[in-house]
Amino acid sequence: MNNSILNQVSLNPEQQEAVLHTEGPLLILAGAGSGKTRVLTHRAAYLIEQGVNPWNILAITFTNKAAGEMRERVNQIVGMGSESVWVSTFHSTCVRILRRFIDRLGFDTSFSIYDTDDQKSVMKEVCKKLEIDTKVIKERSLLAAISHAKDELISPAEMELDAGADYYKQRTSAVYKEYQAQLRRNNALDFDDLIMKTVELFQNCPEVLDNYQERFRYIMVDEYQDTNTAQFRLVSLLASKYRNLCVVGDDDQSIYKFRGANIGNILNFEKVFPDTKVIKLEQNYRSTGNILNAANDVIHNNAGRRDKRLWTENEDGAPVHFRQFQNGYEEAEYIIGNIRSHVEKGEAQYRDHAILYRTNAQSRMFEEKLVHANIPYKLIGGVNFYARKEIKDLLAYLKTIENGQDELAVRRIINVPKRGIGATTLSRVGDYAAAEGISFYDALLNAEQIPGIGRGSAKVLPFTVLIQTLRARQEHGSVSELLEAVIEETGYVKELELEDTEEARARIENIDELISKVRDYDDNAEEPSLSGFLEEVALVADIDNLDEESNHVVLMTLHSAKGLEFPYVYMAGMEEGLFPSYMSIMADNPREEIEEERRLCYVGITRAKKELTLTAAKQRMIRGEIQYNKVSRFVREIPEECLDIKTETPGQRSKEEWESRREKRREAFLEARRNLRAKPFETSPVTVTKADHLDYGVGDRVRHLRFGEGTVLEITEGRKDYEVKVEFDTAGVKKLFASFAKLKKC
């Protein structure tokens, strides 16, 4: 090769072929750890070297983390001009397009982006308005049905036509219609709308589509197996003019069917683009031979897949360890002990270890053991920084300044800090806004004209004056200056300082972190703006918050682990009924569901670089009941020559070990008895005073002195006290008595 880019790097023959094939549709089937990011970045660099304008290249990924990594690598290779390459997620790409042209669809370009909490708030209002009994039809199932419809590009009108005489479908379509109407009134979009509205824009406005087809003559899409119907349609429209579409993915890692991912998009790519060039990347650079052999033999049992087999020049390494225990307690004890042993021997650091499991509920036992062992850990899937009350409050101020039509944001902060604006006043403002066909905030601006509001208008006026003043500042200052003005003018931090509690200090620290984040945005964004910052916050994913340099053991579900790698991986709960799940085994189409679960197992196995340990328990407490499950079929699909199998039962421990343990327990018992005898017993019994009411309810965020922050899941009123069930961010689910717990609302 005479080109400089390829002379500078070492690519295997298949990688090199993928880089050089620049014209026409290209499907790269990239196995786990096969260097696909390397191929994509060098392909972008090669295109630029061959004379393609950087701004004519679009690279789409699924996470901000992946997008940032790709952009950094392209910058390192190309240097000048690489900043003009669009490297972003599907959602970020669509936001940039909609910010310019969504007015063609009747929205204002300053639209808000609603997160999950915002969607739930809207859905509550919708169900209340339509008199939906949420005990019969759950809000969560309605939101899921709407999300699925948007993934499939089904509009409310189309859903209504399809409903026919089916009562549930009729109610769902009515909810969908009203939900969209409320979003429209609030000038807001949810995540699914970002894709759907962009497709709608392209279909309704050919000149806008043509503009972006000319702009993006070369398109690359990563993780193509995870695309849904709407994303497939978006990419197809953009690529239909020049057809220089390169998609990269692995059907064996398609694990997001529950989010709408359509594996058919990658399996049937050549049917849509008949002249497709197909290249397989099968050489793995991550894992040992034994780990790959285990992965290959498991996934080989799937029928709906492309034929490929990972191989490596790495050593075979240790066999895959399988350990079976009596219960989940012993399982967690073993894994944590194994991690500690690696660190104490200097073989690894805490961050080199990941514990993966099928369901979030499995994390509790591991968290308790890690806390007890004083081992630092990071739980992926806990409460997002941007979901904390103080952060959502301040972001709601910024949203109101940017988009006054966002009623959710306005209502959240109208009494933060307290302004004495009552529910009656807010109700009359809402009625007036609906009658006049204006936004809630515009109605507040006209409060004096609202019938029956009386003195309420005088309380509303300072709020609207504050917002209008801050809007004027927005025109001339940075985003960080605007945030600091919000904090200063509202007295938000001053109130927390006066509170002078541990919780208040923690909130101030979070606010300080937000200020740091905004300043960092001002310093590093190409064109910093309030709308740009709010977009960045709205589009952040949980996995983007994983700091791979921090020295913590990582706990996460198998779904969250995709795209990551660790020297030591533990896959816990390898039992029939847990993984694969009971729901998959008993599904109407069990073959498809179990194949999805097997792909998830394949993803978990291929996260391991050096050692993989699979664990199972003979009995496990699930939903309060002890279940007895046999070993997962996925373990049984691994060839024996790759496995190191041990069943950890008391009978297999040495006699000396058990004698030692028994002696230690005896000494501890005698010591405890001596302490009891030395201490006089209290004569007065402990009394519990039941509170008249609790300051928090189900769904509220609370703080415990020992366990930290969590979400209230359930409150049961007993004769002597309230029993409160809380899911803590780091300590898992706990049942506590209210009088002793002394929980405080966040």
Residues classed as catalytic:
36-37, 222-223, 253, 607
Residue identified by tokens 């790759």 is 642
Instruction: For residues 84 and 247, give the distance between their C-alpha atoms in angstroms, rounded to a whole number.
Output: 21
Alpha helices in 453-501 (DSSP H): 456-474, 479-490, 492-499
**DSSP 8-state class, residue 654:** -
The three-state secondary structure class of 326 is coil
Spatial CB neighbours of 288, under 8 Å, sequence gap ≥ 6: 312, 314, 315, 316, 317, 318, 609, 610
Distance CA 60, CA 226 (A): 12
Rg (CA), the chain: 28
d(CA 294, CA 284): 14
For 19, the token pair is 């880089």
Burial of 739 (0-12, 13-18, 19+ CB in 10 A): middle
645: β partners? 322
Contact 405, 421 (CB under 8 A): no
Q: What is the SS3 string spanning 159-212?
A: HHHHHCCCHHHHHHHHHHHHHHHHHHHCCEEEHHHHHHHHHHHHHHCHHHHHHH
Q: What share of the chain is helix, strand, coil (3-state, %, to 5)?
A: 55, 15, 30
Cβ neighbors of 258 (< 8 A, separation 6 or more) are none
Q: How far apart are CA 62 and CA 563, in angstroms?
A: 10
Sequence-distant (≥ 6) Cβ neighbours of residue 717 within 8 angstroms = none
